[in-house]
Amino acid sequence: AQTIYKQWFVDFEFPDENGKPYKSNGGKMVWCEELEKEIPEGWEVSSIGTYSKVKSGFAFKSDWWQSQGIPVIKIGSISNNTIDNNALDFIDSNKFENAKNYTVKRGDIVIAMTGATIGKIGIVPNLGKYTLVNQRVGMFNLGEKPLNKVPFLYLVLLDDIVQKEISNVGGDSAQANISNSQIENIKIVLPKEKNINDFNLLLESTFDLILNKIEENQKLEDLKELLLGRMVRVEN
């Protein structure tokens, strides 16, 4: 996925109308003053917010936390560009109504908005019927079917230039902090809508497979813990 992203949106070798690499087959390039380089005709310098809005999660009360219930993603839950099931917190279902506007679905993306790991992102696997997001974790609005839009945004957010800009805006210390509007205002090269749609369509099945593997790995981890626990009891 990252290789195709670089080919299309960094090297500008996305398929032209004849299915051939755009730039190396004479695709028209125009000079961009802001970037001080050429970009494909019809592309523009825009912002992340043009593609997807982002908002911070819900401010849960400290006495709501418990060991089971509805899962809540915290900054510490974001690991290896996904969500670590073992680092989730939970609230009782009777508190759900208070935070129902801060739910994420399978395929959504969350981002750390504060702390030393500011800018780290995670694609959300299936964590249950409902999954909530804690404050200072940003949640991107990808609509009812996130997989239709997630490939482009996921790889944009992992781009070194974008990650550096997040650090520049928010700072790189333990007190680092970035707002949802600052994330939305980060500049990116925005391709034509057709190029983005073609890219997302091409990689939608790949990201579905990624999520399947994440979910499968978690089931295997759970099974391993269960088996190890039984082995210990047998030995005792």
What tens-digit pLDDT sequence spans the chain (236 residues)?
A: 999 999 999 999 999 999 999 999 999 999 999 999 999 999 999 999 999 999 999 999 999 999 999 999 999 999 999 999 999 999 999 999 999 999 999 999 999 999 989 999 999 999 999 999 999 999 999 999 999 999 999 999 999 999 999 999 988 777 899 999 999 999 999 999 999 999 999 999 999 999 999 999 989 988 998 898 888 888 77
Q: Please tell me the distance from the alpha carbon of residue 19 to that of residue 30, in angstroms, as a whole number.
A: 21
Q: Please tell me the distance from the alpha carbon of residue 215 to that of residue 84, in angstroms, as a whole number.
A: 10
CA nearest neighbour of 99 among 76, 81, 73: 73
Q: Return the beta strands (E) in the chain as ranges.
A: 29-32, 37-40, 44-47, 54-56, 70-73, 78-79, 82-83, 89-91, 109-112, 121-123, 132-133, 137-140, 187-190
Question: What one-letter code names the amino acid at 139?
Answer: M
Q: Please tell me the distance from the alpha carbon of residue 126 to that of residue 54, in angstroms, as a whole number.
A: 20
**Whole-number pLDDT of residue 230:** 85
H helix or E strand, kind and range, residue 143: none
